[in-house]
Structure 1
Amino acid sequence: MLELFPVSLRLVLERIPAFARETLEEIRIRENRPLEIGYGSRYAFVREDGSLTELGHDAFVPGKEHCRALLERITNHSIYAAEEELRRGYITVSGGHRVGLAGRAVLDKGAVFHLRDIAGFNVRIARARIGFAAQVLPGLLDFKARTIRHALIVSPPQQGKTTLIRDLARSISSGQWHHPAARDWGSRKVGVVDERSEIAASDKGVPTFDLGPRCDVLDACPKAEGIMMMLRSMSPEIIVVDEIGRQEDAEAIHEAVHAGVRVLATAHAAELSDLFGRPALAKLAETGIFGSYVFLTRDGSKVNHRIVSAEEAERQTSRSRLRTIAATPRDAPGAGGAQPEIEGSGLPGQSIVKNRALPVIRSPDMRLSGGSEDA
């Protein structure tokens, strides 16, 4: 992976201490700002000799020439060929490593058309953890159907969702169910829709990560369209997809479920309340699509998991909605004492506060300069 970087940057990164290199998660290059790495859930700046420091002013500072050379390398010296990826704000390089980009967005009719003046890079290191699935897969099994339940893996960024879903795909495709009652089940056909090229890290269509012998990968394809393509052409028994969240993703998952295919997906959220606060995911939950939710948390280099059934998820969200209905701001009149009941509901309500006129706020007239297509 270090071959990705220009020589002067590579020499600095090669000197990073072994303990940090072995758990390296992110490399952040920002033009004219200190070089930073993330490792084992920790962050540090990097000096020119590779040693680590918490002081930014003491660190190696990449310049414009470093950023320009890095951009040339990750786009294979053809920025125009990578236009679509630049528009999405990241480029996935060989090995499944994703390079996030920050710069100036160029707009076309209100939508991001391109990125220019790119001066920030976040290289996220992709790693395979063989055996990660053994801890989680037994809790996702549907013993009656001899396969998995529809499952959604949930966590904030950088908690191990993609690493887990990759190893789950490998285990299922290999028939490694990690449960004594499933020894004679055999393997299943797995279809991976890999929009960001991170799950399989395909090179010219061939996965470079081990996803098992019965896995087909649709690389660099939008999730919703890819799910439908898999259903039409590859007859998968299980579809694996990363980072769902849009309405079209939810609709495609509905199609897959009603076609008799099991779905294994991931999504960004910290808790159930966050998850169900996202409209598309809330709709999936309300229709009972997912039989299990797997929540991941990091404790240093260790990843912990918690499996929540669909029934328990519904109970938790119902209690949360009741607390929201009954909630009263701490500074509202009568907040510290007994609260009146909402008529006919049996629930405590908020004190009635009379409306009052708001003061008029006047601002001095300001001339706005003409806009441009750059934002």
Structure 2
Amino acid sequence: MQERIGIYDVLPGKIRFLVEKERLQEDLLQEIRLRTGQPLILIYRDREVFPMQDGKPYRVQEEDLKETLEYVSNYSLYAYEQEMRQGFITMEGGHRVGMTGQAIMEKGQIKNLKYISSLNIRVSHEKPGCADQVLPYLIRDQSVCHTLLVSPPRCGKTTLLRDLIRQISDGTRLLAGRTVGVVDERSEIGGCYRGVAQNRLGRRTDILDGCPKAEGMMMLIRSMGPEVIAVDEIGKAEDVHAIEYAIHCGCRILATVHGASMEELRQKPLFHQLIRRGCFERYVLLGNQPKAGQVLGIYDERGSLLYREECTC
């Protein structure tokens, strides 16, 4: 396995120095936000931290963004044009660098971005064992339940999904190992580098990296015969249709979606019918208080509460 690139390695020297002065635990760092002319902001344990220089919050310079992009792209932004048109670049290790700037349009579609003015480095965390309390509620009759992980941003749903994949693939005392197919559209789940996953996803896992979710699910069914299919952040009609097709083909589904509550999810037209028909057998609702990844509730297809993590604050 390749050695991971540390998240600080892509920061300009002076910013790296200021961030390291904060003496933060890197495994609790969530985001690094750089906006031209604005204070540098770190999201750490769900709180904002403003690194200081000469007693004042450090203000990000235009050259800071340019230097960061050079490191992130290995000095070849052109090679990442396909990703940049979607507004982000995924680094080795699964860290995602979101960006804004001036859109370059071609035939009514975004071709690329230029004059980048903001960067948001979202730090990917691998936490083996974080699914230990959840997985038993997702198994029924020696089979994985069709499961949807629901949470707002920065609440750990991708981290939880990653560990569920690993445990289901390797097997546990409750479940024999299953063949898992992962459609990793944004390279956040496996953090693939030159086709090799940097994150541990299990010995029976096949990863389709950088492929649109709907198309990828169909490809996996045709080519790899997965028992379980895992995808992150579904939200398009074609994603939902592909999930329905996969279920009809006998695959078990693990998926995530943005949402603050089950009621909010029910109000989304794409998911209303899925919920009404009971396509998903388990819903895992996550929050970030008192910690990211707090399990607010695990529900069955009828909406009955099966488990809630006790608050220890």
What's the TM-score once normalised by structure 2's chain length? 0.91
1:35 corresponding residue in structure 2: 40
- Residues 189 and 214 of structure 1 are in contact (CA less than 8 Å); yes or no, is this contact kept in structure 2? yes
Name the CA shift for 1:294/1:76 in 2 (closer, same or farther; >3 Å): same
Match of 1:156 among 131, 152, 155: 152
- Residues 191 and 239 of structure 1 are in contact (CA less than 8 Å); yes or no, is this contact kept in structure 2? yes
Name the CA shift for 1:165/1:105 in 2 (closer, same or farther; >3 Å): same
1:363 corresponding residue in structure 2: none
Distance 1:82 1:91 in 2: 7
Distance 2:19 2:12 in 1: 11
State whether structure 2 residue 163 is matched by structure 1 residue 173: no
1:13 corresponding residue in structure 2: 19
Q: Which amino acid aligns with 1:2?
A: Y
List runs of 5+ in structure 2 lacking aligned partners.
Answer: 1-6, 305-313
Name the CA shift for 1:193/1:267 in 2 (closer, same or farther; >3 Å): same
Give a deviation string over 1:320-360, Cα, whole Å, max 9, x none. xxxxxxxxxxxxxxxxxxxxxxxxxxxxxxxxxxxxxxxxx
1:214-253 equivalences under 5 Å are 214-253=204-243
State whether structure 2 residue 99 is matched by structure 1 residue 93: no
Aligned to 1:270, the other structure's residue is in SS state: coil
Q: Which amino acid aligns with 1:23?
A: L
Give a deviation string over 1:186-213, Cα, whole Å, max 9, x none. 2110111111111110111111111111
Q: Which amino acid aligns with 2:169?
A: S
Aligned to 1:128, the other structure's residue is in SS state: coil
State whether structure 2 residue 3 is matched by structure 1 residue 3: no
CA drift at 1:119: 1.1
For CA contacts below 8 A with separation 6 or more, give which structure has more relative contact order. Answer: 2
1:267-306 equivalences under 5 Å are 267-305=257-295, 306=297
2:3 corresponding residue in structure 1: none
Q: Which amino acid aligns with 2:121?
A: V
Give a deviation string over 1:2-54, Cα, whole Å, max 9, x none. 111222222222222235x44111101111111100011111211137x9xxx
Distance 2:273 2:289 in 1: 31
State whether structure 2 residue 29 is matched by structure 1 residue 24: yes
Q: Which amino acid aligns with 1:134?
A: D
2:301 corresponding residue in structure 1: 310
Name the CA shift for 1:293/1:155 in 2 (closer, same or farther; >3 Å): same
2:309 corresponding residue in structure 1: none
1:321 corresponding residue in structure 2: none
Aligned to 2:230, the other structure's residue is in SS state: strand
Match of 2:133 among 126, 135, 139: 135
Match of 1:44 among 19, 30, 49: 49
Q: Which amino acid aligns with 2:259?
A: A
- Residues 244 and 265 of structure 1 are in contact (CA less than 8 Å); yes or no, is this contact kept in structure 2? yes
Give a deviation string over 1:76-117, Cα, whole Å, max 9, x none. 222222111111111100111001101122333443232111
- Residues 192 and 241 of structure 1 are in contact (CA less than 8 Å); yes or no, is this contact kept in structure 2? yes
Aligned to 1:8, the other structure's residue is in SS state: helix
Residues matched between the structures, number: 297
Q: Which amino acid aligns with 1:161?
A: K
CA drift at 1:266: 0.2
Higher CA-based Rg: 1
RMSD of equivalent CA atoms: 1.6
Q: What fraction of aligned residue pairs are identical, expressed as a percent?
A: 42
Q: Which amino acid aligns with 1:9?
A: I
Distance 1:206 1:86 in 2: 22
Distance 1:147 1:217 in 2: 21
Aligned to 2:246, the other structure's residue is in SS state: helix
Name the CA shift for 1:109/1:66 in 2 (closer, same or farther; >3 Å): same
Q: Which amino acid aligns with 1:282?
A: H
- Report which of the two has the higher share of strand: 2
Distance 1:278 1:110 in 2: 27
Q: Which amino acid aligns with 2:97?
A: V
Give a deviation string over 1:223-266, Cα, whole Å, max 9, x none. 00110111011110000100001000011111110000000000
1:362 corresponding residue in structure 2: none
Distance 2:238 2:149 in 1: 19
